[in-house]
A = this chain, B = another copy of it.
C-alpha cells in the first residue's frame, strides 16, 4: 500500500502554510492566463439556471495558495456569467469548491483558514486524486497546482534488491541508472493517466481543467548531473551515513515518491489518454526561484514539503539534522541559490473534456 504523507500542517513556523511562497509565486503569472482561458474557453451554455457550479482543487494542502487560486477562478467565472446572462441569473448561481488532498492532510487548518467572505461553499474531499472522488459528470472546473509530481507510490522495483531497477545509494531517479529512471517514468505515466481518467469521469462534457505541473527543463535520466534540491539532500544523507548518523540500509530503502516530468513527456501522456483536448500548454520559468532567496527560507520551504514523508522513514532527529545541514550548506555556498541553478519549470496546461 502506498505510504501516505502530507505537507506539514498547522500554521506554525515550520508549517507549509508559512512556507509556501515558493509555490505561491506562480499565481501572479498564472492569474491572467486562467482569466483569459475562462473568458474564452468556458462553455456555460449547457448549465440550467438552478445548476450549481462545481470546482475542485486536487492536492490543496492546508489551503493558503488554494484559496488564492479559487478566488481567481470563481471571480473569472462569475464575470463570465455576468456578461453572458441576466444579472439575476448570475447572482443566484451557487458555487461549490471541493478541496482535495490525502486523508493525512491537515484539513482542520484548511477549514479554519477559509476566507470568511468567499463566494462559494467549501467541502473537503479526503483521498488519493489518482482515484475517483466525485460523482460522474458533476465537475465543471478542475484545478491542480504543485501536486502532480507526487507519485501514488515509489515504483516497487526501485526498492527491490533483486530487481535491476534497485536504487541503491540514491533516493530518487535524478542521474540514476536507466532502469531506475524508467521505473519512475513509467509510474509517473501510469499515475497521470489515472488522474486524467478519474477526472474525465467527474468532469462534465466540455468541462475545463487547469494544471500547474512542476517539471524540469531537462530529463532526469542517467545523463543528468545532479544540482537539484533532492541531489543535495541525497548527498547530505550519504555524508550522514558515513558519519554513522543513519544506516546505509535506511537510505537504500528510501526513495522520494516524486517525479519531475518534461514538456514532451507530459504532452504525450495526455494525448495517449485521449479524453481531453489540449487547449493551451506553455512552460513558465518557475517564478518561485526568484521569490525565495535566503538559505533559511529555502531550507524551510523544502522542510515543510518533505518533513512528514522523511520523518516517517528516518525519524525526527535525523530530519532536524538534515535540513539544518542543508541550510548551512546553502549559506556556505550561496551560488547554489542563484535562480539559474534552479532548473525547475512549471508547465501550465489547460485541458477541455472532450464531448461524449
Proximity bits, A261-289, B CB within 8 Å = 1, else 0:
00000000000000000000000000000
Q: Answer whether residue A175 sits at the interface, using C-beta atoms and an 8 A cutoff.
A: no
Q: Which residues of B contact A124 (CB under 8 A)?
A: 107, 111, 123-126
Q: Considering the complex, which residues of chain A in the window 100-142 have a beta carbon less than 8 Å from any beta carbon of chain B?
A: 103-104, 106-108, 111-112, 114, 121-127, 132-138
Q: Which residues of B contact A135 (CB under 8 A)?
A: 52, 94, 96
Task: Tell me the smallest distance from the CB of A11 to a CB of chain B, in Å.
Answer: 14
Q: Answer whether residue A91 sits at the interface, using C-beta atoms and an 8 A cutoff.
A: no
Q: Which residue of B lies closest to A112 (CB)?
A: B103
Q: Answer whether residue A86 sits at the interface, using C-beta atoms and an 8 A cutoff.
A: no
Q: Considering the complex, which residues of chain A in the window 3-25 have a beta carbon less than 8 Å from any beta carbon of chain B?
A: 9
Task: Tell me the smallest distance from the CB of A25 to a CB of chain B, in Å.
Answer: 28
Would you call B50 and A136 a contact (CB within 8 A)? Answer: yes
CA distance A263 to B124 in the complex (A): 35
The one of B96, B103, B122, B137 in contact with A114, judged by C-beta atoms closer than 8 angstroms, is B103
Contact flag A123-B121 (CB < 8 Å), given A52-B136, A103-B111, A107-B107:
no
Contact flag A125-B123 (CB < 8 Å), given A94-B135, A104-B112, A111-B107:
yes
CA distance A333 to B119 in the complex (A): 54
Proximity bits, A178-193, B CB within 8 Å = 1, else 0:
0000000000000000
Chain A interface residue count: which class? 20 to 34
The one of B122, B125, B138 in contact with A126, judged by C-beta atoms closer than 8 angstroms, is B122
Q: Answer whether residue A98 sits at the interface, using C-beta atoms and an 8 A cutoff.
A: yes
Q: Which residues of B contact A96 (CB under 8 A)?
A: 135
Q: Which residues of B contact A123 (CB under 8 A)?
A: 98, 123-126
Proximity bits, A320-354, B CB within 8 Å = 1, else 0:
00000000000000000000000000000000000
Q: Which residues of B contact A94 (CB under 8 A)?
A: 135-136
Q: Which residues of B contact A50 (CB under 8 A)?
A: 136-137
CA distance A136 to B121 in the complex (A): 12
CA distance A50 to B202 in the complex (A): 12
Would you call A107 and B104 a contact (CB within 8 A)? Answer: no
CA distance A229 to B134 in the complex (A): 43
Q: Hey, which bits of chain A sit against chain B, CB under 8 A?
A: 9, 50, 52, 94, 96, 98, 103-104, 106-108, 111-112, 114, 121-127, 132-138
New contact pairs (17) apart from A52-B136, A107-B108, A121-B127, CB-CB < 8 Å: A50-B136, A52-B138, A94-B135, A94-B136, A96-B135, A103-B114, A107-B107, A107-B111, A107-B124, A114-B126, A121-B132, A121-B133, A122-B126, A123-B126, A124-B124, A124-B125, A124-B126
